[in-house]
Chains A and B, each alone.
Chain A
Amino acid sequence: MPSVPSINTADRERLLADYPQVFHRSFWQRYGLAVGAGIVAVYLIICFFAFNVGPTFMQGRWDRASLYVQDWYSWRAQPRLRFEEDGTVRAQWSSRGQYPADANISWLQPTAAGGYAVTYGNDDDRLDVTPSLVQVYLGGTAYPVTITVDAATAPEGAPSAITQDGNKVLVDYGFEGQAEIRTGQVYVQRRFIGWANFLFDTKSEFWGRTYGELLVLATFGERIDPDRSNFGHMVDDFLGNNVWQHSDILSKLMQTLVMAFVGTLFGTLVAFPLAFIAARNITPNRAANWFMKRCFDFLRSIDMLIWALFFTRSFGPGPIPGIAAIFFTDSGALGKVYAEALENVDDKQREGVKSVGASPAVVNRFGVVPQVLPVFISQSLYFWESNIRSATVIGAVGAGGIGLKLLEAMGTNADWDKVAYMVLLILLVVFLFDNISNAIRSRLIGQAAH
């Protein structure tokens, strides 16, 4: 057992008398943290029940959740194999059309008997589809699903991947896809990693080529269209991609950036002179200080949402309401921050300039502005960064930009790949601008100050 250092009674009394603040702390000093934590815990428990967290999570459609999340990084081809009158099978594509009309698709091959063979990854997992019988291969074993006018019937003793659902049979190949065998058709769903037709849609000359081929074409290949260089052609086709709408998405992203940039800039320009009026030490007029500060508080306290919706009502959807909303909120917020910075300036420089007989404007120009300008710019840059994120959100309520585009894409519940694409773009832009503004800031105020 380690020896415990001990003290005698006299020492103990002396220590207790000398350091009362250590040994006789008030109730709040001792238990304040515990009491606070307890209150917070009780509050969270109440909220847990008030917001119905448990039941909501239980009733959540988690099967859909995995589907949606898979859609972020993979795509589905969904042909319907319809049984025709003449005993053949015809493949019909949804409107999303990931393949051109006459494409040769390696996983969907017509068979000699007029049916189709659908492979899920390899030949051991495939469907041989004919109007009367679908052979389901699972790991090399065949399970015949017979189809009559009334019902598709799974064989006896089929594994759990094949399920009978009323008169339909569902086949599950895991990530590779599913199939739904009905009396008149087979719904095939085949899933692949990646984003389908991300670069070029099926109408483009460049569709279906490998990156190597594209590189060769772009650099020294024969011109496909004699009027344009191949590279220009590629850029046009990329931006004009009907499925991914690159040009639209990029222009919406640009709108969001413009909203943040112009809104913050105008906010800065308005807040700058007004902050001089609001600062007690610069303008020795209490009424003016008070009035200006209340103006800032008012502008700041009206939520950005209110400004955004208000201006959307008057200017119609687009970047102008976004700019106006950011401008109004930020001139208030920046004004407040600027005024505080001004009130903390060093008076010696002002006195120095004043002592040589300078006018008040000159005193401010040479005695105050050089001190506060780095702080002002640094604050504005912070606001700019934060406004890029805000502009995305207020865009969604109607101010346009990438936010609205995101909301539309999410509303269909089928375009999660496009959502992922836009999220990536937003993350990229936010990181880029964070780094730019960090670089400007550290050049202005030195590494230590932020």
Chain B
Amino acid sequence: MADISANNPGGLGSAASLTMRHYQQQLKTRRIYTAISIVVFLIVLGASLNFANNANAGKFFERLPYLFDFITHFVPDSPMEIIRAMFDLQSPYADGSLKYDYTSDRVYLTENFYIPHFLYQLIITINIALVSTIVGAAAAFALCFFASTNLVGAGATRFVVRRIMEVMRAFPEIVIAGLLTAILSIGPIAAIIAITVHTVGALGKLFFEVVENADMKPDEGLRAAGANWAERVRFAIVPQVLPNFVSYTLLRAEINVRASTIIGAVGGGGIGEVFRLAIGRDHAAKTYAIIILLLVSIIVIDQFSGWLRRRLVGEQSFEFGRGAA
């Protein structure tokens, strides 16, 4: 009776053993699929790493020991130098070279009062981010109602508006910045427009998804009272969605501060550009000064926007917000 006991694991009844066999079969297939996908995945990863390593100017394992060399050599002459570079104070090492020249870029507001150069650039960067967030959010607000299924019956309108948003979202920011730099000459406006375009696309998508999830009962009430489309949007939808809109906009502002730093490095001005120059020229003290400034400002902005979000929206403050970034 050996064969029967093999078919009846644990002495189960025939119906139960059938189920058991099915379960084991499924488990087996599933394990095989998992194993295959892991192998495929590892092959893709290996190929990617190999490709990346071959395409790079310096090879990973050749350069790895020197990574720490770079860090150990890249130290300012004294810790105080970082403070001096940050606040544009005269350096005792000053020898006329750019490396120790902290004072000549001061931005004087009055005869004696100046804003340190890096701080000034940081302010520019943050303002670029703020302006583009505000303008972008306003445009996205105007667009999003035309993209949501529950408010616009015409499929064509929705299709067009959504595609416009998608293109605005995916269009590489550096191309917009580069084209505008060629036309308007170098300055923050190219960066503002580039980031604004992206913001419209990204926020527009999040906004219309919020609108589509809105409760339609107030809308029905207004419709019954004879309100037109604009009135329905204004009094039925906007009050519901505004907290979420504000929350998403604040998150976007955080992201845009980072974006404007990066765009700045590509030619939009601001702290990004200064940082690229400092690290490229091996000015350690300046580099660390900028890193500290950026770190502090980003932490402060994140905390502030988190606080504001909690105050305005309460607990549903969308921490998962990088979604459509």
A residues near B, CB below 8 A? 40, 43-44, 47, 50-53, 56-57, 59-62, 64-65, 68, 251, 254-255, 258-259, 261-262, 265, 297-298, 301-306, 309-310, 313-321, 323, 333, 336-337, 340, 379, 382-383, 386, 389-390, 392-394, 396-397, 400, 403, 406-407, 410, 413, 416, 419, 423, 426-427, 430-431, 434
Across-interface contacts of B167 in A (CB, < 8 A): 427
Tell whether B80 is near chain A: CB-to-CB under 8 Å. no
Contact of B294 with A394 in the complex, beta carbons under 8 Å: no
Contact of B262 with A393 in the complex, beta carbons under 8 Å: yes
**Contacts between chains A and B (CB distance < 8 A), count:** 192
Tell whether B26 is near chain A: CB-to-CB under 8 Å. no
Contact of A410 with B262 in the complex, beta carbons under 8 Å: no
Across-interface contacts of A321 in B (CB, < 8 A): 56
Min distance, Cβ B149 to any Cβ of chain A, angstroms = 14
Tell whether B53 is near chain A: CB-to-CB under 8 Å. yes
Number of B interface residues in the complex (CB < 8 A)? 62
Contact of B166 with A431 in the complex, beta carbons under 8 Å: yes
- Given known contacts A254-B51, A258-B51, A306 and B294 CB-to-CB distance under 8 angstroms: yes
Contact of A410 with B175 in the complex, beta carbons under 8 Å: yes
Min distance, Cβ B154 to any Cβ of chain A, angstroms = 23
A interface majority secondary structure: helix
Across-interface contacts of B175 in A (CB, < 8 A): 406, 410, 419, 423
Across-interface contacts of A316 in B (CB, < 8 A): 56-58, 63
Contact of A318 with B170 in the complex, beta carbons under 8 Å: no
Choose from B52, B130, B265, B323 the contact partner of A323 (Cβ within 8 Å): B52
Stretch from B96-104, B108-116, B177-185, B215-223 that touches the partner = B177-185
Tell whether B160 is near chain A: CB-to-CB under 8 Å. no
B interface majority secondary structure: helix
Min distance, Cβ A421 to any Cβ of chain B, angstroms = 11
Contact of A44 with B70 in the complex, beta carbons under 8 Å: no
A262-B52, A340-B319 given; name 4 further pairs at CB < 8 Å: A52-B187, A56-B185, A61-B183, A397-B262
Across-interface contacts of B262 in A (CB, < 8 A): 303-305, 390, 393-394, 397
Across-interface contacts of B187 in A (CB, < 8 A): 51-52, 56
Contact of A393 with B173 in the complex, beta carbons under 8 Å: yes
B residues near A, CB below 8 A? 45, 48-49, 51-53, 55-58, 60, 63, 66-67, 70, 127, 130-131, 134-135, 166-167, 170-175, 178-179, 182-185, 187-189, 192, 258-259, 261-263, 265-266, 272, 275-276, 279-280, 291, 294-295, 298-299, 302, 319-320, 322-325
Across-interface contacts of A52 in B (CB, < 8 A): 187, 189
What are 23 A-B pairs at a CB distance below 8 A? A51-B131, A59-B184, A59-B185, A60-B183, A261-B48, A302-B295, A303-B294, A309-B276, A315-B58, A318-B55, A318-B58, A336-B319, A340-B319, A382-B322, A382-B323, A389-B325, A393-B172, A397-B262, A410-B178, A426-B170, A427-B167, A427-B170, A434-B170
